[in-house]
């Protein structure tokens, strides 16, 4: 089995063990972004802010995790550094770009992991591997020592085997995070989306099983926000990595994406930003009448490794997650299994900067779903 780890190490105390995505600095280790084109970069001179926070809280860093090259892909397939095997579904993609982080948690190799999420890159691999993942509100988690250093889309966040693990990790990396008291019956807004019947069936069953009050919500600009996210991410990727586009060590899939990214114009970026701002207001308005929004994480079950070269299908897997990078709202994925035993996810969207409240809602939902879909992960570092 291909390991989810790039480098092994032991740094820190005796607390929960962490794998750190290879876009986050760990002092003394190179930050290679999953790319052979960066294989010989100098080791980081200091820890990223989030790594410092984990160590200060007694956590133990045990590995750098593999990732989709330059965080510019969603399958997790990486020919240069190796593709982490999805522990429970080895014929399926592990998801990307935080592939190694999700696979390490799903395989029980670490208690917790950190990933980054620019267009679904925490939530997609967490859903593919059957674990929990949180994209915090944009700007909530310190980005010092994270590549890229500045982003209008990206958030650092945790991947864990349980909601308890998500909340534990957040208390370690976010000094403002304050776990909320138990929520008995939050009202949820079920977002109308286009997804495969197999996915919609299990999500509807899961929501019904919770017994929580439910309202139907329509987000008319969901698809427009998805397209805006693609444009904005292309602009950021070209700005950060365009200088690598002709490096022969760069993976063919990422090189092709970068060449397309080079064609994005300033007018297109401005239009995408305006679309994102409009969608953010739309989500804010939808959240005025409910405690959180709920929808599938993935519009279809994960691609097989054999089908991962289908660029259009790979891109489409982010259709329901990417819009919330554009809007900046916190987004959580809870694992579900389809009727055929394949991984899907229930995505929960909270109010901007309401990460604490979102996690309390997620904890309540996960608790109610425990009898419907047993979690595939048994280890719980928070116990």
CB-count burial class (<10 Å; 0-12, 13-18, 19+) for 162:
buried
User: What is the span of the domain harbouring residue 234?
Assistant: 8-369
Rounded Cα distance, 149 and 146, in Å = 5
176 has pLDDT over 90? yes
The predicted model gives 95-119 an average pLDDT of 98
- 226-278 tens-digit pLDDT: 999 999 999 999 999 999 999 999 999 999 999 999 999 999 999 999 999 99
Determine, yes or no, domain membership for 381.
Answer: no
Instruction: Report yes or no on 111 lying in a domain.
Output: yes
User: By C-alpha distance, which of 200, 227, 238, 230 is closest to 347?
Assistant: 200
Residue 374 inside a domain? The answer is no
Exposed/middle/buried for residue 20 (C-beta within 10 Å: 0-12, 13-18, 19+): buried
Mean pLDDT across 87-98? 98
Contact call for residues 329 and 351 (beta carbons, < 8 A): yes
With the CA atoms of 74, 334, 105 and 164 taken in that order, what torsion angle do they form, in degrees rounded to the nearest 10?
140
Q: What band does 382 get if pLDDT is binned at 50, 70 and 90?
A: very low
**pLDDT for res 177:** 96
Report whether pLDDT(200) > 60. yes
Q: Is the pLDDT of residue 383 over 80?
A: no
Parallel, antiparallel or unpaired: strands 214-217 and 132-135: unpaired
- What does the DSSP 8-state code read for residue 92? B
Three-state SS at 17: strand
Do the beta carbons of residue 61 and residue 51 sit within 8 Å?
yes
User: How many CB atoms within 10 Å of residue 91?
Assistant: 10
Residue with tokens 């969603």: 74
pLDDT score at 1: 62
pLDDT-based confidence at 90, cuts 50/70/90? very high
**pLDDT of the residue at 360:** 97
Count of residues making up the chain: 383
Render pLDDT for 335-376 as a digit per residue (tens, 0 to 9): 999 988 999 999 999 999 999 999 999 999 999 998 774 444
What does the pLDDT average to over 142-164? Answer: 97
| Residue 378 within any structural domain of the chain | no
Mean pLDDT of the chain: 95
Distances in whole angstroms, Cα of residue 279 to Cα of each of 154, 275, 292, 357: 17, 6, 16, 21
Task: Tell whether 2 is covered by a domain.
Answer: no
Neighbours of 283 (CB within 10 A): 25
Does residue 377 surpass a pLDDT of 50?
Answer: no
- What is the DSSP code string of 103-140? HHHHTTS-SEEEEEESSSTTHHHHHHHT-EEEEPPTT-
CA 199 vs CA 141, 203, 205, 346, 365: distances in Å = 31, 6, 10, 9, 18
Q: What is the pLDDT of residue 183?
A: 82
376 located within any domain? no
Q: What is the pLDDT of residue 334?
A: 98
Burial of 115 (0-12, 13-18, 19+ CB in 10 A): buried
pLDDT for the residue 247: 97
pLDDT in tens, 45-57: 999 999 999 999 9
93 within some domain: yes
DSSP line for 69-84: GGG--SS---TTT-PP
Within 10 A of 256 (CB to CB), how many other CB atoms are there?
13
Q: What is the pTM of this model?
A: 0.96
Mean pLDDT to the nearest integer, 288-306: 97
Residue 3 maps to a domain? no
Number of domains in the chain: 1
* DSSP string for 187-248: -EEEE-----HHHHHHHHHHHHHHT--EEEE--TTHHHHHHHHHHHHHHHHHHHHGGGTT-T
The CATH code of the domain that includes 28 is: 3.90.1300.10
């Amino acid at each position: 089995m291909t390991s989810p780890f790039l480098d092994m190490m032991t740094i820190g105390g005796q607390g929960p063990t962490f794998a750190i995505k290879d876009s986050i600095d760990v002092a003394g280790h190179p930050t290679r972004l999953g790319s052979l084109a960066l294989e010989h970069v100098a080791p980081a001179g200091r820890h990223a802010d989030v790594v410092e926070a984990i160590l200060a809280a007694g956590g133990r860093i045990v590995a750098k995790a593999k990732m989709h090259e330059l965080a510019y892909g969603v399958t997790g397939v990486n020919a240069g550094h190796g593709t982490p095997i999805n522990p429970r579904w080895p014929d399926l993609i592990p998801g990307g770009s935080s592939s190694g982080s999700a696979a390490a948690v799903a395989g029980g190799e670490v208690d917790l992991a950190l990933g980054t999420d620019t267009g679904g890159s925490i939530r997609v691999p967490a859903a593919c591997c059957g674990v929990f993942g949180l994209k915090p509100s944009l700007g909530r988690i310190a980005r010092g020592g994270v590549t890229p250093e500045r982003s209008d889309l990206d958030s650092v966040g945790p991947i864990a085997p349980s909601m308890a693990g998500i909340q534990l990790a957040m208390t370690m990396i976010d000094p403002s995070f304050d776990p909320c008291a138990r929520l008995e019956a939050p009202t949820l807004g079920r977002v109308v989306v286009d997804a495969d019947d197999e996915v919609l069936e299990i999500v509807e069953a899961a929501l019904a099983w919770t017994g929580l009050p439910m309202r139907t919500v329509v987000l008319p600009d969901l698809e427009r926000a998805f397209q805006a996210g693609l444009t904005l991410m292309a602009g950021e990727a070209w700005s950060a990595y365009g200088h690598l586009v002709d490096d022969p060590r760069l993976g063919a899939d990422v090189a092709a994406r970068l060449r397309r990214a080079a064609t994005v114009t300033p007018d297109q970026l401005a239009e995408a930003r305006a679309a994102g701002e409009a969608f953010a207001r739309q989500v804010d308005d939808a959240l005025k009448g409910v405690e959180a929004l709920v929808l599938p994480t993935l519009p279809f079950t994960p691609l097989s490794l054999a089908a991962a070269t289908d660029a259009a299908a790979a891109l489409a897997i982010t259709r329901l997650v990417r819009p919330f990078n554009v809007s900046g709202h916190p987004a959580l994925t809870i694992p579900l299994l389809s009727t055929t035993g394949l991984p899907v996810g229930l995505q929960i969207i909270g109010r901007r900067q309401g990460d604490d409240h979102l996690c309390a809602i997620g904890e309540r939902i996960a608790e109610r779903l425990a009898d419907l879909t047993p979690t595939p992960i048994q280890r719980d570092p928070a116990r």
